[in-house]
Structure 1
Amino acid sequence: MNVYDWDKTIYDGDSSIDFYKFNVKRHKRLAKLWPAQVKAAADYKRGKITKTEMKTQFYRYFSEIDDIDNAVLEFWAINKHKIKPWYMEQRRDDDLIISASPEFLLEPIIKELGVQLIASDVDKHTGVHRQENCYGVEKVRRMEKLYDMNAMEYFYSDSYSDDPLAQYAQQSFLVKGNELKNW
């Protein structure tokens, strides 16, 4: 099995940010949430709140989207071209995508790719995380519950924050754009 981070690894950009921008263009009323989102980001940077708390505050805008399921489908119809070609060339049926992005946001595109997914469990109507953000060591915890860690052949990520997971792979790669470097 090969394991991949999603954002900035096989997806060219950050899908959570891209989804936000997609929605802001369609719903100008989301601007009223900016002050709270900026405050949450500042509080996180100062160590006052956790990454999960910061993201929950950011994702509160989900409650302002009338048909979020349709918004997700429309988003992927426009943005699926951002999946990097190198991934599509080596994609395997037993691939696992593990991401901090919301699970409901990634599910349609992952289903289309025909691979497995572990992602952050976020309520699509409120933005509230149902469990810890799927980031860093939390990725290892989630994967251990479902898979044999020794089955991981290759691991790919754009960030050393994924080092806890990279340590389990037979070989790991750091992804910068379309360039793959040995971890």
Structure 2
Amino acid sequence: MNVYDFDNTILRGDSTARFFAYCLLRTPRMWLDAPGQILNGLLFLAKARKKQVFKQRMLRFLRWIDLQSVLPAFWEKNLSRVKPFYGTAHREDDVVISASPEFLIRPACAHLGISHVMGSPVDPRSGIFRGPNCHGEEKVRRFREAFPQGKIDAFYSDSHSDDPLARLAQRAILVKGDKLLPWNDA
């Protein structure tokens, strides 16, 4: 099986940031929370706020949107951002493991024919995390939980934060823009 990160790997850009911006342009009520969101971002950048706390605070906007109508419209507009390499690399047993909220990436993955999807467990109505952010070693734990005997033929990611998962693969590929590079050469 091949295993992929999602943001900046299969998809050009960060799906959570793009979804936030998409909703911000269509949900005026979100602007009322802009000062708090700016402070949240500054605290995260200053390393005074952990990533999961930052993400959970940012995702509070979900309480103001109709996810059933907004999410399909978002992906209709953003599926064109799937990188060309994925069309030729795709296999039926592909797995996506991402730090993005699972509810957010699952529809895009379904459209691409990917049925094995693991993302951060976030309540789609409140933005509250129901478990750990799916990042770093947590990706390995989640993979082993779902596929105890699973062998990774190829692993694709844009970031060395995924080194723990890359070490499990027979072949690891670093995705930089549209370039596919050997993991250890980049």
Task: Give the TM-score range, shorter chain.
Answer: over 0.9
What residue is the counterpart of 2:165 in the other structure? Answer: 165
Distance in 2 of aligned mates of 1:39 and 1:137 = 28
Greater displacement, 130-139 / 106-115:
106-115
- For structure 1, the 5+ residue unaligned runs are none
Q: What is the rounded CA distance, in whole Å, between the counterparts of 1:53 and 1:22 in structure 2?
A: 22
Q: Give the deviation of 1:43 after TM superposition.
A: 2.2
Distance 1:68 1:150 in 2: 33
Matched residue type, 2:68? D
- State the 1:61 CA deviation: 0.5
Contact 1:143/1:149 (8 A) holds in 2: no
1:99 alignment counterpart: 98
Q: TM-score, normalised by structure 2?
A: 0.93
State the Cα deviation string for residues 97-155 of structure 1 (Å, max 9, x = none).
11111111111111122211000111111111111111111111111111146510110
Q: How large is the Cα RMSD of the aligned pairs?
A: 1.2
Do the aligned residues in 2 keep the contact of 1:149 with 1:168 (CA within 8 Å)?
no
Question: 1:48: Cα distance to partner?
Answer: 3.0
TM-score, normalised to structure 1, is 0.95
Determine whether 1:142 maps to 2:125.
no
Q: What is the distance in 1 between the residues matched to 2:111 and 2:150?
A: 27
Identity of aligned residues (%): 40
Q: Which runs of 5+ in 2 are unaligned?
A: none
Partner of 2:12: 12
Paired residue type of 2:19? F
Number of aligned residue pairs: give it: 182
Deviation, structure 1 residue 60: 0.4
- In 2, Cα distance between equivalents of 1:49 and 1:132: 15
Contact 2:144 2:150 in 1 (8 A): no
Match of 2:153 in 1: 153
The one-letter code of the counterpart of 1:158 is D
Q: Does 1:23 align with 2:23?
A: yes
The 8 Å contact of residues 97 and 118 in structure 1, kept in 2 or not, is answered as yes
Distance 2:124 2:24 in 1: 16
In structure 2, the partner of 1:114 is: 113
1:93 positional shift: 0.6
Describe the SS at the equivalent of 1:94. coil
Give the C-alpha shift of residue 31 in structure 1.
Answer: 1.3
- Any conservation in 2 of the 1:121–1:130 contact (CA below 8 Å)? yes
Superposition deviation, residue 49 in structure 1: 2.6
Distance 2:25 2:41 in 1: 21
Q: How many angstroms does 1:46 deviate by?
A: 3.2
Q: Judge conservation of contact 2:30–2:61 (CA < 8 Å) in 1.
A: yes
Match of 1:35 in 2: 35
Deviates more, 1:46-55 or 1:83-92: 46-55
